[in-house]
């Protein structure tokens, strides 16, 4: 029997239809149990929610003597009128128990400037907490609950294994209404230029995060903490589906520092100044696109010099991990710690090569030799120290060859009222260049009520004249 071309076409379409139906049927699977019908995140929530806590912080802010108080006392003596003695300040956020002994991770901004911290567990038990470590540069703080043990804790996961599109849960206490769970996906990784902290390298998620969620957990589908919810992008104050979390890899660095008894996080020192690679720089270097970080200066005796890094080099990767700007470099470099070596992929003269950089903390050379500004001088309430790589790293300023830096500044002090800022580099007083805090102390006391002070603030140099 022979078929016409038309009939053959009809048969081919029919066979394709049957084959398509068969394929569609093989892709559909009938649920075989009630559990498959009722798929839920409840098991992960049960596993982790008990370790997510509420953090209450407060302080009674005693009013410090201001420059105006000093002025009034000159005319009225001890009977001078004064403002209110103090006021209560409060803060509310979330936290995560990461060790059964009572170690809690939260955001630094939740407890910043606070003196009393309490933590409420999901079962309504409350504990007072000591602040083991505050790290403003990552916005992470570590607390230790008093008289606590055998608590439910959640394990820190590997944020480096996250991929865009992974499902995550955000657990916290938004608006203080009680523990709340929201679900979303990882919207982006390695978000920088967000303006939240010094180490800008965030996980972005669309899980609903609102005020009070700060310090709460970002949980993956393994029931592990992959991030600490830190901030939201919002014009109204409510969630619009753009939230940011500090990756667990960086959280682990801060936690390990606290476990080791450190009061501060010690980071590796490169000994070089970096800047982003923009389009013009990329074109001049023969790069297809802006990537990496440009080395603009190298410290004479730092690890960068030892490794052979030079001005004009472009660092493309840290231990094989690409870097696109100074923020991503700082994040990748910090994760490597302060011991051993790390390979940097460097572009020089159109060729890539690898340099081994020694990992070490920034040195305290010269020693700080702090000098506290005395009363009846413009520096009252300020503490001056010698500048070193360690001091420059803490204050996030450039290392200078001369001058002393304001390392501490009391609120409402004379020094604050006349306009000094923490991190200001005091270069000269009354025309005398300063090489150490001893020089600064001598010049401050020698002036006789008149001070001509030269300041370097972020590269901008200016001189101010102050009198008693």
Give the whole-angstrom CA distance, residue 364 versus residue 23. Answer: 70
DSSP class of 14? H
7: in domain: no
pLDDT(220) > 90: yes
- Is residue 54 scored above 80 in pLDDT? yes
Does residue 191 have a pLDDT over 70? no
Per the domain annotation, does 92 fall within a domain? Answer: yes
Same domain? 70 vs 135: yes
Tokens, residue 312: 């004009």
Decide if 234 is inside a domain: yes
Q: Are residues 400 and 458 in the same domain?
A: yes
Mark which of 81, 112, 145 sits at the end of a domain. 145
- Does 301 lie in the same domain as 248? no
Q: What is the pLDDT of residue 59?
A: 72
- The pLDDT tens digits for 356-396 are 999 999 999 999 999 999 888 999 999 999 999 999 988 88
Q: Does 113 show up as a binding residue in the annotation?
A: no
Q: Which residue has the tokens 């916290």?
A: 172
Do 462 and 386 belong together in one domain? yes
The yes-or-no answer on residue 248 being catalytic is no
pLDDT band (50, 70, 90) for residue 25:
very low
16 in a domain, yes or no? Answer: no
- Catalytic option among 135, 139, 220, 439: 139
Please check whether residues 201 and 250 belong to one and the same domain: yes
Compute how many other C-beta atoms are within 10 angstroms of the C-beta atom of residue 324: 17
416, pLDDT greater than 90: yes
For the domain that residue 228 is a member of, what is the CATH number? 2.40.10.10
Active site residue 299: no
Selection from 333, 122, 350, 84 nearest residue 216 by Cα: 122
- Determine the Cα–Cα distance for residues 303 and 336; give it in Å rounded to an integer: 14
N-terminal to C-terminal alpha carbon distance within the chain = 117
| Residue in 94, 197, 214, 249 annotated catalytic | 214
Torsional class of 369: left (φ above 0), alpha (ψ -120 to 50), beta (otherwise):
left
Cα 37 to Cα 366: distance, rounded to the nearest angstrom: 68
**Is residue 14 situated within a structural domain?**
no
* 212 carries a ligand binding annotation: yes
Tell me: do 324 and 404 sit in the same domain.
Answer: no
Nearest to 269 by CA among 311, 296, 307: 307
Place of tokens 């390990």: 256
Gap between the Cα atoms of 60 and 88, Å rounded: 5
Residues 311, 222 share a domain: no
Per-residue pLDDT, 198: 52
32 or 16: which carries more pLDDT confidence? 32
Where on the phi/psi map is residue 96: left (φ > 0), alpha (ψ -120 to 50), or beta?
beta
Q: Are strands 126-135 and 140-145 parallel, antiparallel or unpaired?
A: antiparallel
Indicate the average pLDDT of the chain. Answer: 83
229 marked among binding-site residues: no
Q: What is the pLDDT of residues 223-278, one digit of tens each?
A: 999 999 987 665 555 556 688 899 999 999 999 999 999 888 999 999 999 999 99
Q: Which pLDDT belongs to residue 449?
A: 76
pLDDT band per the 50, 70, 90 thresholds, residue 467: confident
Q: pLDDT over 90 for what percent of the chain?
A: 53
Is 50 one of the annotated binding-site residues? no
Residue 40 in any domain: the answer is: no
Residue 108 inside a domain? The answer is yes
pLDDT of the residue at 66: 47
Residue 24: what pLDDT? 44
Contact 434, 427 (CB under 8 A): yes
Q: Which domain holds residue 177?
A: 159-259
Active-site residue flag, 139 = yes
DSSP state for residue 156 in the 8-state scheme: B
What single DSSP character describes residue 448? S
The residue out of 296, 326, 358 marking a domain boundary is: 358
214 annotated binding-site participant: yes
Do residues 301 and 324 share a domain?
Answer: yes
* Span 85-131, pLDDT tens digits: 444 557 688 999 999 999 999 999 889 888 889 999 988 899 999 99
Report the DSSP pairing between strands 450-457 and 460-467.
antiparallel
> What average pLDDT does range 422-438 have in this prediction?
94
Question: Do 206 and 278 fall into the same domain?
Answer: no
In the predicted model, is pLDDT for residue 317 greater than 90?
yes
pLDDT band at 175 (very low <50, low <70, confident <90, very high): low
Contacts of 143 (CB under 8 A, 6+ apart): 55, 95, 103, 104, 105, 106, 111, 117, 119, 129, 130, 131, 132
pLDDT above 90 for 439: yes
Residue 295 included in any domain = yes
- Can you tell me the distance from the alpha carbon of 257 to that of 249, in angstroms, rounded to the nearest whole number? 13
Residue that finishes a domain, picked among 145, 169, 199? 145
Instruction: Categorize the per-residue pLDDT at 318 as very low, low, confident or very high, splitting at 50, 70 and 90.
Output: very high
pLDDT at 72: 36
Strand partners for 72: none
Catalytic residue (choose from 66, 109, 206, 439): 109
Overall average pLDDT of the 136-159 stretch? 93
The total domain count for the chain is: 4
Note the helical H segments in 77-168: 108-111
pLDDT at 23: 45
| Buried residues in 167-177 as b, exposed as e (16+ CB within 10 A) | ebbbbbbbeee
- Examine the domain organization and report whether 181 and 255 are in the same domain: yes
How far apart, in whole angstroms, are the C-alpha atoms of residue 202 and residue 197? 10
pLDDT value of residue 44: 92
Are 137 and 167 in a shared domain?
no
Residues 350 and 392 occupy one common structural domain: no
CATH number of the domain at 347, please: 2.30.42.10
pTM recorded for the entire structure: 0.78
Task: Report the range out of 57-61, 178-182, 417-421 with the highest average pLDDT.
Answer: 417-421
């Amino acid at each position: 029997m022979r078929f016409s071309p038309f009939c053959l076409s009809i048969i081919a379409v029919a066979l394709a239809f049957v084959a398509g139906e068969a394929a569609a049927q093989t892709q559909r699977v009938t649920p075989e149990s009630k559990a498959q019908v009722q798929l839920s995140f409840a098991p992960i929530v049960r596993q982790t929610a008990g370790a997510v806590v509420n953090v209450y912080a407060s302080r009674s802010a005693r009013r410090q003597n201001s420059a105006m108080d000093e002025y009034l006392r000159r005319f009225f003596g001890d009977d001078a009128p004064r403002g209110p003695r103090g006021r209560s300040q409060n803060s509310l956020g979330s936290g995560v128990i990461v060790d059964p002994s009572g170690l809690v991770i939260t955001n630094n901004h939740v407890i910043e400037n606070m003196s009393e911290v309490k933590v409420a567990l999901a079962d309504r038990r409350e504990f007072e907490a000591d602040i083991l470590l505050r790290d403003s540069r990552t916005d992470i703080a570590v607390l230790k609950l008093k008289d606590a043990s055998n608590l439910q804790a959640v394990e820190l996961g590997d944020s480096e294994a996250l991929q865009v599109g992974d499902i995550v849960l955000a657990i916290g206490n938004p608006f203080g209404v009680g523990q709340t769970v929201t679900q979303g996906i990882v919207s982006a990784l390695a978000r920088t230029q967000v303006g939240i902290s010094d180490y800008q390298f965030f996980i972005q998620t669309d899980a609903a995060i609102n005020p009070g969620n700060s310090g709460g957990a970002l949980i993956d589908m393994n029931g592990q903490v992959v991030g600490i919810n830190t901030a939201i992008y919002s014009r109204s104050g409510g969630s619009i589906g753009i939230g940011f979390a500090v990756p667990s890899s960086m959280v682990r660095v801060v936690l390990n520092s606290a476990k080791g008894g450190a009061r501060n996080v010690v980071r590796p020192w490169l000994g070089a100044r970096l800047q982003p690679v923009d389009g013009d720089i990329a074109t001049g270097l023969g790069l297809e696109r802006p990537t990496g970080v440009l080395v603009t200066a190298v410290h004479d005796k730092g690890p960068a010099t030892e490794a052979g890094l030079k001005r004009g080099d472009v660092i493309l990767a840290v231990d094989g991990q690409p870097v696109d700007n100074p923020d991503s470099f700082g994040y990748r470099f910090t994760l490597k710690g302060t011991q051993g070596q790390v390979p940097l992929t460097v572009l020089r003269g159109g060729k890539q090569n690898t340099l081994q950089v020694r990992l070490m903390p920034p040195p305290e050379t010269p020693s700080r030799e702090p000098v506290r500004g005395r009363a009846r001088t413009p520096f009252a309430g300020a503490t001056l120290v010698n500048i070193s790589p360690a001091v420059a790293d803490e204050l996030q300023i450039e290392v200078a060859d001369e001058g002393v830096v304001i390392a501490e500044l009391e609120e409402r002090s004379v020094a604050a009222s006349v306009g000094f800022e923490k991190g200001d580099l005091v270069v000269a007083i009354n025309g005398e260049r300063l090489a150490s805090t001893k020089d600064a102390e001598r010049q401050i006391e020698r002036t006789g009520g008149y001070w001509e002070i030269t300041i370097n603030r972020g590269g901008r140099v200016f001189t101010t004249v102050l009198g008693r």
